[in-house]
Amino acid sequence: MTARPANTHQARLLKLLRDGGPNSRAQLGDRMDLSRSKLAVEVDRLLETGLVAADGLAASRGGRRSHNIRLNPDLRFLGVDIGATSVDVAVTTPELDILGHLNQPMDVREGPVAVFEQVLDMAGKLKAAGLAGGFDGAGIGVPGPVRFPDGVPVAPPIMPGWDGFPVREALSQELGCPVMVDNDVNLMAMGEQHAGVARTTADFLCVKIGTGIGCGIVAGGQVHRGTTGSAGDIGHIQAVPDGRPCACGNRGCLEAHFSGAALARDAMQAAQQGLSVELAGRFETNGTLTAADVAAAAAAGDATALELIREGGTHVGQIIAGLVSFLNPGLVVIGGGVTGLGHNLLAAIRTQVYRQSLPLATRNLPIVLGELGPSAGVIGAARLISDHLFSPA
| Cα(388)–Cα(32) distance, integer angstroms | 20
**CB closer to a copy of itself out of 55 and 311:** 311
Minimum distance, C-beta of residue 160 to a copy of itself, in the bound complex (Å): 16
**CB closer to a copy of itself out of 303 and 358:** 358
Minimum distance, C-beta of residue 340 to a copy of itself, in the bound complex (Å): 26
Q: What is the 3-state secondary structure (H, E, C) of the chain?
A: CCCCCCCHHHHHHHHHHHHHCCEEHHHHHHHHCCCHHHHHHHHHHHHHHCCEEEEEECCCCCCCCCEEEEECCCCCEEEEEECCCEEEEEEECCCCCEEEEEEEECCHHHCHHHHHHHHHHHHHHHHHCCCCCCCCEEEEEECCCEEHHHCEECCCCCCCCCCCCCHHHHHHHHHCCCEEEEEHHHHHHHHHHHHCCCCCCCCEEEEEECCCEEEEEEECCEECCCCCCCCCCHHHCECCCCCCECCCCCECEHHHHCCHHHHHHHHHHHHHCCCCHHHHHHHHHHCCCCHHHHHHHHHCCCHHHHHHHHHHHHHHHHHHHHHHHHHCCCCEEEECHHHHHHHHHHHHHHHHHHHHCCHHHHCCCCEEECCCCCHHHHHHHHHHHHHHHCCCC
Contact call for residues 195 and 96 (beta carbons, < 8 A): yes
**CB closer to a copy of itself out of 120 and 327:** 327
Q: Fill in the amino acid letter for 51.
A: L
**CB closer to a copy of itself out of 175 and 234:** 234
**CB closer to a copy of itself out of 187 and 207:** 207
Beta carbons within 8 Å of 224's beta carbon, 6+ residues apart: 217, 218, 231, 232
**CB closer to a copy of itself out of 282 and 315:** 315
Minimum distance, C-beta of residue 226 to a copy of itself, in the bound complex (Å): 2
Question: What size, in residues, is the chain?
Answer: 393
Backbone angles phi, psi at 341, to 5 degrees: -70, -20
Minimum distance, C-beta of residue 80 to a copy of itself, in the bound complex (Å): 23
Minimum distance, C-beta of residue 313 to a copy of itself, in the bound complex (Å): 16
Minimum distance, C-beta of residue 144 to a copy of itself, in the bound complex (Å): 10
Minimum distance, C-beta of residue 100 to a copy of itself, in the bound complex (Å): 35
Minimum distance, C-beta of residue 115 to a copy of itself, in the bound complex (Å): 22
| Cα(131)–Cα(182) distance, integer angstroms | 25
**CB closer to a copy of itself out of 77 and 148:** 148
**CB closer to a copy of itself out of 94 and 151:** 151
Minimum distance, C-beta of residue 348 to a copy of itself, in the bound complex (Å): 16
**CB closer to a copy of itself out of 44 and 326:** 326
**CB closer to a copy of itself out of 241 and 274:** 241
Contact positions vs a copy of itself (CB under 8 A): 145, 154-155, 203, 215, 217, 219-220, 222, 224-234, 236-238, 240-241, 248, 250, 318-319, 321-323, 325-330, 355-361, 363-365
Minimum distance, C-beta of residue 150 to a copy of itself, in the bound complex (Å): 16
